[in-house]
């Protein structure tokens, strides 16, 4: 497994910024307070890992960072946009252009080929078919899957499916990738391969926030925050 690539120290500004973010869900017997006041900055080009026990609020935090959910209170800025006060009619554009996602479950369309799966996110953009295909082939090359462009997900291994999912996430051209347990359904060797891919994308400038339970993977990233009981318990930078 490759580690970080050394280089000059840089101090870019935050590309994601949360201030006093809370999140509560209404239940029959009262409110469930999942996030209890989180303030956090993610620098542009950073690879940040989120860890913590089940139920600590990791995925809720990731969903808020990606504008997939809204905070109950507090503010969220993504790439210079105050998302927490953005009208809902503009939220779709923010989700489509500012942030991309990959998940533990690959969420590929089983009846489509690898290349066709990559083209799906571009349908609402009005981009020409030829340009979409050109972009899709390029993204498949980036993840080493150009020779599987005509294969459907059922013909691919778990690791290959996750590579396709990563390529699909890259199609929007967003500068932020959020990954929720991206190696959770993979064996150790395949998980290491996916982590190597994420590290290479980060070294090329992509900002990545990843939820994982694997401390070995976390140690390869720039920084790890530990969430406990809805709060940031530890915030550690890798050596």
Angle, in degrees to the nearest 10, between helices 158-170 and 188-203: 20
Inter-residue contact 39 to 28 (CB < 8 Å): no
Report pTM: 0.89
How do strand 14-27 and strand 73-78 relate by DSSP bridges? Answer: antiparallel
Which DSSP letter does residue 205 get?
T
Q: Which domains does the chain have, with CATH numbers?
A: 44-70+88-237 (3.40.50.300)
Report pLDDT for 31.
87
Report pLDDT for 189.
93
Report pLDDT for 52.
94
Q: Which residues of the chain have pLDDT under 50?
A: 1-2, 6-8
Q: How many CB atoms lie within 10 A of CB 5?
A: 9
Inter-residue contact 183 to 214 (CB < 8 Å): yes
């Amino acid at each position: 497994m490759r580690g970080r690539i050394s280089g000059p120290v840089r101090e870019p500004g935050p590309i994601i910024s949360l201030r006093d973010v809370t999140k509560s869900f209404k239940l029959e017997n009262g409110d469930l307070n999942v996030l209890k006041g989180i303030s956090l900055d993610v620098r542009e080009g950073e690879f940040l890992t989120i860890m913590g026990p089940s139920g600590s609020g990791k995925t809720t935090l990731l969903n808020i960072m990606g504008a997939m959910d809204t905070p109950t209170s507090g503010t969220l800025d993504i790439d210079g946009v105050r998302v927490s006060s953005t009208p809902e009619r503009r939220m779709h554009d923010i989700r489509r252009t500012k942030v991309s996602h990959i998940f533990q479950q690959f969420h590929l369309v089983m009846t489509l080929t690898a290349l066709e799966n990559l083209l799906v996110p571009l349908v609402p953009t009005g981009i020409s078919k030829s340009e979409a295909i050109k972009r899709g082939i390029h993204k498949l090359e980036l993840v080493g899957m150009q020779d599987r462009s005509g294969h459907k997900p059922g013909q691919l291994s778990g690791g290959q499916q996750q590579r396709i999912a990563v390529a699909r996430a890259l199609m929007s051209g967003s500068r932020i990738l959020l990954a929720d347990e991206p190696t959770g359904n993979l064996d150790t060797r395949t998980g290491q391969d996916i982590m190597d891919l994420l590290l290479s994308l980060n070294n090329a400038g992509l900002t990545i926030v990843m939820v994982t339970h694997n401390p070995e993977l976390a140690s390869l990233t720039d920084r790890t925050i530990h969430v406990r009981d809805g709060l940031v318990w530890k915030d550690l930078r890798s050596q």
